[in-house]
Amino acid sequence: MRKIQIVDVSLREQAACNGSSLSFKEKIEVARQLDKLNVDAIETAPIVNGKNDIVFLHTLAPLMTRCILACPVGLDPELLPDTWEALRAAKRPRLNVVAPVSTVQMEYQFHKKPPVVLDMIRAQVKACRELCEDVELSLQDATRAELDFLAQAIRAGIESGAGIITVCDTAGVMLPDEFNKFVAALNEAVPELANVTLSFAYSNALHMAAACIFASVNSGFAQIKTTCVGMNEPSLRSIAHVFRAKGDALGVSCDLNMTVLEKSYEQIRQILNGSAEQDECAEQDAPASGEVSFSLSKSDSREDVADAVRQMGYDLDDSALDSVYESVQRIVQKKTEAIGPQELESIIATVSLQVPSTYNLKSFVITSGNEITSYAHVILERNGEEVKGFGTGDGPIDAAFLAVDEILGRHIELVDFKIDSVTAGASAMGSTTVKLRYENKVYAGKGVSTDVIGASIRAYLAAVNKICYEAGVK
């Protein structure tokens, strides 16, 4: 039984069609659902919106512990450093060099002659391979390219270090027999394909993508690109159904989780499209936090908190859920009232979807008054060891921040500090936002607690951890 890898490009396709219409949370949720489906790789959009795209990949990378996280790069060498910087924290990163190979795309859209494109392919694939072990070369409009030139492009990619060659039928005009003959001719022209992973990206313009791909089942391909939205690739659902119905007969298998297929697929589609198409069987969206009714108290278990999180439409992994539960327990011990949806929303936003923590707050002691100098003793945890800092300042929060600075061994400029009340009442939760400037860049952190000083320290550390993450500090 030959294993076929499934790469989903929904995030890439959605960005190409609708720009940046998805919120940060929605993008993360799409990735989580795809991870739950056991796709082998998730391909994001290329970095075109600068800092916003980089921050998104920075946050997503450490969350993908099983899936490969792939990001496309074109042939422009100036785009590679930012792409790799955003992707490098992933456990299994992949750089995908996308190159045109048909005359139409090379000369009329890319404005380059074939020999120049070959040189650019060699240079970009080599540069990617020096940074990342997993490099893919995607050949756009390959089915309309001259076979001799296509063979040269594939050899150039393989010789430069590409381990995956993706053949793209961008136009999507071939019938199954035609595509089968094309792939057979390509394997004959480039025997080196036997030494790498052959991948297919087939447009579903004629609604025949799955038929074309599986008509070439004996060609040795080992990867298929799918999507949950649009027509540029076959739908994940249709590919899954072929594996389920004919996989044994064809001698191929995949790792897709068929048990959650329908539910996760529809949740992804609803996020990407706003609602499922009329001819699809769609589920209702998870209710918004304002429509959910629950309360969390001291006696509630981790499973109770997990159920409340699910009611609000979030799907957190075990690590993020543990963090939310710990925060809920810490807060309810200090409150006389239970935690409701609005407060839980703030907790989720604060403790999940963050970069990995270099520093964690262990404890703090504050001495303050109108006739004494404020003093703070802060204990943080780094790599399992406790580190202590002491600070005196103009008020308890200033003293606490200076204590953290002492631990860091440097002073970081505080640009903005803001306190908001999440809920009303004597035991209301406070939400603090801290902005720090480091090396001409501003980093924001957020903290939530019934204790404003504790929330402030956590917000400060959230921003500090982002600085440490980008600086590569462990």
Domain limits of the chain?
2-273, 295-351, 360-471
**CATH number, span 2-273:** 3.20.20.70
At residue 418 the predicted structure's pLDDT band, cuts being 50, 70 and 90, is confident
pLDDT at 44: 92
- Phi, psi of 120, deg, nearest 5: -70, -35
**What six digits make up the tokens of 466?**
């982002």
- DSSP annotation of 284: P
CB 324 within 8 A of CB 352: yes
Write the pLDDT tens digit of every residue in 82-98.
899 889 888 999 999 99
Pair type for strands 2-3 and 372-382: unpaired
pLDDT at 300: 84
Please state, as a whole number, how many other Cβ atoms lie within 10 Å of the Cβ of residue 368. Answer: 17
Cα distances (Å, whole numbers) of residue 422 to 322, 365, 452: 22, 24, 12
Q: Could you give the count of Cα atoms lying within 13 Å of 48 in the half-sphere of its Cβ?
A: 10
**What six digits make up the tokens of 445?**
């952190």
Question: Nearest to residue 223, comparing CAs of 150, 156, 146, 137?
Answer: 137
Question: Nearest to residue 6, comparing CAs of 184, 317, 244, 174?
Answer: 244
pLDDT at 47: 86
Pair type for strands 252-253 and 41-43: unpaired
Rounded Cα distance between 368 and 216, Å, is 74
Write the pLDDT tens digit of every residue in 281-320.
333 333 333 345 678 888 888 888 888 877 765 666 677 7
**What pTM, to 2 d.p., does this model score?**
0.60
Tell me which of 226 and 52 has the higher pLDDT.
226
Cβ-Cβ contacts under 8 Å for 240 (sequence gap 6 or more): 254, 256, 258, 261
Which phi-psi region, left, alpha or beta, contains residue 422 (left: φ > 0; alpha: ψ -120 to 50)? alpha
Cβ-Cβ contacts under 8 Å for 276 (sequence gap 6 or more): 266, 269, 270, 282, 283
Residue with tokens 């963090």: 323
Over 50: is that where the pLDDT of 459 sits? yes
- Name the helix (H) or strand (E) containing 41: strand 41-43
Question: Nearest to residue 360, comparing CAs of 351, 368, 373?
Answer: 351
Write the pLDDT tens digit of every residue in 223-239.
999 998 876 789 999 99
Residue with tokens 């069609």: 17
Average pLDDT, stretch 156-167? 96
Pair type for strands 223-226 and 93-100: unpaired
**What six digits make up the tokens of 88?**
């490098």
Give Cα 268 distance to the centre of its chain.
14
Rounded Cα distance between 449 and 244, Å, is 49
Beta bridge partners of 93: 69
Question: Which SS3 state, helix, strand or coil, does residue 463 take?
Answer: helix
Q: Give the N- to C-terminal CA distance of the chain in Å, as an integer.
A: 42
Tell me which of 69 and 296 has the higher pLDDT.
69
Strands (E), 312-457: 360-369, 372-382, 385-393, 413-421, 430-438, 441-449
Classify domain 360-471 at the CATH superfamily level: Alpha-isopropylmalate synthase LeuA, regulatory domain (3.30.160.270)
Helices (H), 92-235: 103, 114-131, 147-160, 176-189, 209-215
pLDDT at 266: 85
Over 60: is that where the pLDDT of 125 sits? yes
pLDDT at 276: 34
Rounded Cα distance between 329 and 299, Å, is 9
Over 90: is that where the pLDDT of 174 sits? no
Tell me which of 147 and 217 has the higher pLDDT.
147
pLDDT at 267: 84
Residues in the chain, overall count: 474
Average pLDDT, stretch 181-187? 93
Tell me which of 407 and 19 has the higher pLDDT.
407
Average pLDDT, stretch 143-169? 95
Write the pLDDT tens digit of every residue in 368-406.
887 788 999 999 999 889 999 999 988 899 999 999 999
Write the pLDDT tens digit of every residue in 316-373.
667 778 878 888 888 887 766 778 876 776 676 556 555 667 898 999 999 988 778 8
Residue with tokens 């739908």: 235
**What six digits make up the tokens of 27?**
């993008």
pLDDT at 389: 93
Identical fold for domains 2-273 and 360-471, yes or no, is no
Q: Most confidently modeled of 40-49, 267-276, 303-312?
A: 40-49
Write the pLDDT tens digit of every residue in 186-211.
999 999 999 999 999 988 888 888 99
Rounded Cα distance between 207 and 210, Å, is 8
Tell me which of 284 and 176 has the higher pLDDT.
176
Please state, as a whole number, how many other Cβ atoms lie within 10 Å of the Cβ of residue 284. Answer: 8
Average pLDDT, the chain: 83
pLDDT at 355: 64
- Phi, psi of 440, deg, nearest 5: 65, 15
CB 179 within 8 A of CB 187: no
Pair type for strands 430-438 and 413-421: antiparallel
Nearest-5° Cα angle at 356, 430 to 301:
55
Share of the chain above pLDDT 70, in %: 86
Q: Say if residue 445 is exposed, middle or buried (CB neighbours under 10 Å; 0-12, 13-18, 19+).
A: buried
